[in-house]
């Protein structure tokens, strides 16, 4: 399993938000390119970059994203407001290794099937989950569909993976929903990326033991709860 630092962008800065909030910033670093380079120096070979402004429909951080892609040799998976073929193509042309698609992928399965056929092995579907139900639109809408039903529907598509965030475990770094992640990993025909609540090396080891391919780690790395060198040494690749 690999651990992937999260690099969330808002207003040209790298931020970490309070759990459950799109507005309350707990950490703000004005030099996101420097952050990306720092994670590479620690030994990480992948980054999970999200444009929060694009998610919220409040502009974008395209210059910062292009600078990050040009400044480092890490593999970047890029998400945030990607809802069209043109944006998928542009992201890949700019140097992203994978694109992460949430709302439209969940709400327009025919479009997702078309896009995954056009870009096989490049699309990661993001599913925010609470009580095994899918959330969307910044966690404001709950879908009746259960996450395992979604995974079964996605099986067979040439996806790069599915990113499952255990929203109900975001509040504290006490570990993610292991039964959920284990069930998803057993059901999926493609790699599973896990996030939400990760706070220690043991949390990462527990995910690895359950067949998860990658873990997205945010606050625990930025706050120092996890030693980035130790994480990179054990889970860089």
Chain-centroid distance of CA 137 in Å reads 16
Q: Which of 73, 128, 149, 189 is catalytic?
A: 128
Which of 227, 223, 217, 168 is CA-nearest to residue 193? Answer: 217
Contact present, 180 and 148 (Cβ < 8 Å):
no
Which of 27, 26, 16, 46 is CA-nearest to residue 191? Answer: 46
Distance of alpha carbon 113 from alpha carbon 104, whole angstroms: 11
Q: Which of 8, 51, 53, 177 is catalytic?
A: 8
3-state secondary structure 32-57: HHHHHHHHHHHCCCEEEEEEHHHHHC
Distance of alpha carbon 32 from alpha carbon 30, whole angstroms: 6
Distance of alpha carbon 69 from alpha carbon 19, whole angstroms: 27
Distance of alpha carbon 39 from alpha carbon 45, whole angstroms: 8
- Residue 8 appears among annotated catalytic residues: yes
- Residue 128 appears among annotated catalytic residues: yes
Query: Which residues are catalytically annotated?
Result: 8, 128
């Amino acid at each position: 399993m690999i651990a992937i630092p999260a690099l969330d962008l808002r207003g040209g800065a790298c931020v970490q938000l309070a759990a459950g909030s799109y507005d309350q910033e707990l950490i703000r670093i004005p030099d996101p390119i420097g952050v990306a380079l720092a994670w590479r120096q620690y030994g990480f070979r992948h980054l999970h970059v999200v444009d929060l402004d694009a998610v919220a429909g409040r502009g974008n951080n395209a210059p910062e994203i292009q600078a990050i892609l040009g400044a480092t040799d890490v593999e970047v998976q890029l998400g945030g407001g990607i809802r069209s073929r043109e944006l998928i193509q542009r992201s890949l042309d700019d140097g992203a290794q994978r694109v992460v698609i949430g709302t439209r992928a969940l709400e327009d399965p025919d479009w997702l099937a078309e896009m995954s056929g056009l870009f096989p092995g490049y699309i990661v579907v993001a599913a925010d989950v609470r009580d095994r139900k899918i959330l969307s639109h910044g966690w404001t809408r709950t879908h009746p569909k259960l996450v395992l039903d979604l995974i079964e529907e996605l099986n067979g598509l040439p996806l790069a993976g599915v990113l499952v965030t255990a929203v109900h475990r975001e509040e504290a770094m006490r570990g993610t929903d292991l039964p959920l992640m284990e069930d998803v990993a057993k059901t999926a025909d493609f790699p599973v990326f896990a996030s939400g609540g990760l706070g220690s090396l043991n949390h990462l080891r527990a995910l690895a033991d359950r067949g998860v391919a990658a873990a997205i780690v945010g606050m625990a790395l930025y706050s120092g709860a996890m030693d980035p060198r130790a994480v990179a040494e054990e889970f860089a690749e």
